Amino acid sequence: MKSTIQVHDKHFEVFIEQSVLEKRITALASSINQDYAGKQPLFLAILNGSFMFAAELMKSITVSCEITFLRVSSYQATESTGKVHQILGLSESIENRDIIIIEDIIDTGLTMIEIKKQLLAQNPSSLSVATLFQKPEALKQPIEIEYIGFEIENKFVLGYGLDYDGLGRNLADLYVLSE
């Protein structure tokens, strides 16, 4: 039996080990280095979840670049309009810049669709997305994602920056809810 850890009321087991995560992240960085050769991209890392992925990715980025950190606040506006996402913390101009969004996980895709819409309105010269995880089965609308670390099944995951109710972001491996 796999060993489990408990976070709040739930049990989780190791799903993807740190070494596997890091190897894949290095490969993503290589693709980015090739695609952005001669350019100077601005990375926008979405807090809190992407901090560990962003740190690991940046260590293998060799093109000249900048990084800044954003927060997306979401709240329920009305029943009919659903969630509203507001981008907080973007003080630099992204006009005519090559932008790469760094996200931890894309689930329904609705958060990323809204982030992309708001950033595109500020006229970057290009906009791409690097996400460590994606749950293809959970996607509600089609969305273009240029760099995907791992496509995973539609189960709740934790660790490597991702939390369950605030806890677990410090775990170096990715965990999944035990059945």
The residues of the shown chain that bind ligand XMP, judged by CB under 6 A, are 49, 104-112, 156-158, 162-163
Of the pair 108, 122, the CB lying nearest ligand XMP is at 108
Q: How far is the CB of 125 from ligand XMP (least distance, A)?
A: 25
Q: What does the per-residue mask of binding to Mg ion show for 51-90, with x meaning CB under 5 A? A: ----------------------------------------
Please give the sequence-ordered ranges of beta strands (E in DSSP) within the chain, or none if there are none: 4-7, 10-16, 42-47, 66-78, 82-88, 98-106, 126-134, 147-151, 157-158, 174-177
- Measure the CA–CA gap between 121 and 108, rounded to whole angstroms: 22
Q: How far is the CB of 8 from ligand XMP (least distance, A)?
A: 12
9 catalytic? Reply is no
Of the pair 41, 49, the CB lying nearest ligand XMP is at 49
Residue in the structure block whose two tokens are 């926008």:
44
Task: Name the token pair of 23.
Answer: 């190897």
Whether 102 and 119 have beta carbons less than 8 Å apart is answered as no
- Measure the CA–CA gap between 169 and 76, rounded to whole angstroms: 25
Q: How far is the CB of 46 from Mg ion (least distance, A)?
A: 6
Residues acting as catalytic residues:
107
**Residues of the shown chain interacting with Mg ion in the complex, contacts defined by CB under 5 A:** 49, 104
